[in-house]
Chain A
Amino acid sequence: MKDYDVIIIGGGVAGGLPAAAYLQKAGARVLIVDALQELGHHVKTNEVWPGVLWTPCAAGSFIGNSPAMADLDLENYGVNLKLSPRGTGITFPNHKSLFIAPYDIDGTCADIARFSEKDAERARGILERYVEKIIDFNDLCFYSIPTPEKQEKMIEMAAYVWGVDVESFREMNAFELVETVFESDEVQQTFMCVAGVQTLGDIGEPCQGAFAAVAWIMVIPGQLVGGNHNLAHAYIRIFLEHGGTIFRNCPVEDIIVENGVAKGIKIHDDAVVNGGETIMAKNAVITNAGVPESFRMIGEENLTKADPALAQRMKYWDMASRASFVSLWVLKEFPKWKSMQWNPNISKMDFFYKGWESIEHGKRWHMAQKSGDTYGALGGICEAVMHQVTDETAASEEGYVSLRVEEVLPFYWRERGGGSGKADIEMWDEKRDEILEKQTDMFADLIENFRDLILEKYSITPLDLWRGDRAGVAGNGVGGSYTGNQWMLERMPYRMPIQNLYCCNGVWPIQLSWGAGGYNVACAVAEDMGIRDQSWWKAKPVEWTLQNLGRLLVEKNPYWVE
């Protein structure tokens, strides 16, 4: 048996894989252990219909934000990033649309002016400050371990970008922020759409809601040519090339803690390899397994001894208020969006949203979501992805394309009326087709002859997502819900109160394909091991993408309508 300096439990692209690649390249001897065979579970690409690719979970690739693009030379390992020149935005139920492209401030403001001249002026200021601050913002807020001092600075910077004074900013939720700044309902929705799916902050909470709206425009949505799983491939390649070891199909039973120090792991008896064995790590055990599973592996007793408050928070960590439901359709031809008449740029959108009926609907949706009313929350904001728009290789030779939609819902089925009523988790197995039909109706409302285009369709429920990846309890793919007490400093610590134990799931900022958690935990471990000082480990986030922007922005694509 080899000796390891670092053991990483869970090889996802948000946490484990980037951490592994950085640390192994920095000279640590790293072992990745995963219960699954295929690493990068949430960025897996597949083709249910031959030739038509999709990445059902992390359908938007945010790796353009990561310093790893430069530090690890990801492009040379197969990460071929493409960006839509129109950024991201919404197609509304009223068949209008609006997109925000920080790469084209004039064009964006002209589009906004069709809704409101005044909003266009406001937006120009925001986008200009965005360009000024995007690297610093990412550096301070995402690719760095949060501290109370940093939190203050983050809020100041966010308020600055939005042109709002800090004191008011602290009092505002996302709705209030956009309503203060903009007058048009559509513009308001568009500027909070990505935050609308309840990540980086609860949109209904003061301060974190406003912060989430700002933070999300700092994330650059893109696509990897040939599917987003190529990101996992790249990390694995770098990792193996530098001598790393991977155990697949290998669930971890326990993290071994002795006298307040994490020593290693015990592998589950049924594992395909090394079943029942104990494996030691000299310097670090990093868990990327999600909070509930990490809690189980570390053990309540060990945690309570180390930090009773953290033990309690982990025990009651909320995963369930933010569950993802994914629907997938293979279409015979590129859909004609009804909003095309309003603005043909919808045809250039790879990563976008179907809006609420109105911002008021958004508020109602948020109430239903918070109170756990799954029925009431159905039909809210949806995240839509059409890979083919920026990656034509994702279409089949016949020109078939795919549409993937994610809706965020509370996990426990309850009677209407909120918190009361019996929870019924297996309802997901019963309701799957019904929800898929509802969503099909929703998109039939947005696309001409949608039903006639469908060759194949299926859906993946939150329960399926949980079953598929034990880190994604309750179908929560972001490391835990963003609620009042699961935000920023109150997310999981990177350095756990147990010596040599680290965590990169459930941490600030969020589990995304951008690998911020993995980057940050790698920094922490490398510092503690004294190997942080590497000539190649120096890039700032987003820098690489800005330097290469010209060739990353797609210039033409057969599906675009001018």
Chain B
Amino acid sequence: MQVYSEADTRFRAEVRAFIAEALPAEMARKARSGVALNREDYFGWQRILAEQGWLTPTWPAEHGGCGWTPIQQHIFEVESHLAGAPRIIPFGIKMVGPVIIHFGNEAQKAAYLPGIREATTWWCQGFSEPGAGSDLASLRTRAERDGDHYVINGQKTWTTYAQYADMIFFLARTKPDAPRKQEGISFFVARMDTPGITVRPITTLDGGHEINETFFEDVRIPAENLIGEENKGWSYAKFLLSNERAGIARVGEVRELIRDLHDMTESQPVGNGSLLDDPAFLRRVTSAEIDALAHEVTTLRLLSREQESGRPNPLTSVLKIRGSEVLGRLAELQMEVEGPLAACFRPSPAGDPELPQALLRPALKTGRYLNYRKFGIFGGTTEIQKNILAKTVLDLKG
């Protein structure tokens, strides 16, 4: 049965061969184990891709793009995950990079694009605020012009990996009295070491540290850190978010989780056999696998339609909704493979500083299950995606 074209099949073989050759075994082992990765783990792999010219495939050729079609990007993502490569952090490559390419001036392109392309500058995203989540346009962080500077005051939150970041891109209000709240917002970038920016870690329910609060207190940034025009930030943000949603099917990770779930089920001893002999469990694994199959094929179908028409497809929200659900379900099943050990979480104050060896994997699986609740929340919640579909596809007016 042919789903990929001849060319895409050859492309897959090429990608596979490259990753097999270039991905260091230790890097893959660490990424697959499920422990938290650090800045160097992520950047290490990104630099290898940068050398190959594969780090910024969607960028225009003159900025270092390699012209992959959406299907080829999809193939790359799946192969990367199956091989255990650290995932690509999107903030520079998929978010701020394209915004600078489209709306930045030549000086900004020269200043910022090389650091993204060569994986030397880590970017974080300062959009959300305590009072502005789904309703992003209600953000309150202010930027006031003062000579050839802007002075920033306000608070951002949920800033993923701010602790690793060299730079932040963010939205701030430049015209508080604008008639519509979407007007009067501007798009800025700033160095994270600018005086007045502080980062406070947020511990997530799985005990991890990947998100932060970011405070701006009388932060003076040069006026040339404004991207595009003043008060046009909302349209740049919408452009950015449409790019963010495109990668949100997470099919690569789904495939990795399915494969691992099979391996885990088969090698999980139960009495004299394995968990695979348990028809109730097998049924649930199989049912999740078919959900994943439907999701991947839907992704491919929508991607190829997009490839033909050259226009973003509003049905993309289907991929975000279902991708979150499938990933959540797979993480749950991997946790359930562990049986009673799934209840293990972390060392106790009354016990040993380390978990017993046999409980390391269960604790990671349970932590990940909890962590994966995030997929239904960031990048536009499931409810917001459903609002979009109801309005744009079903044409139901509220």
Query: Bound pair: A and B?
Result: no
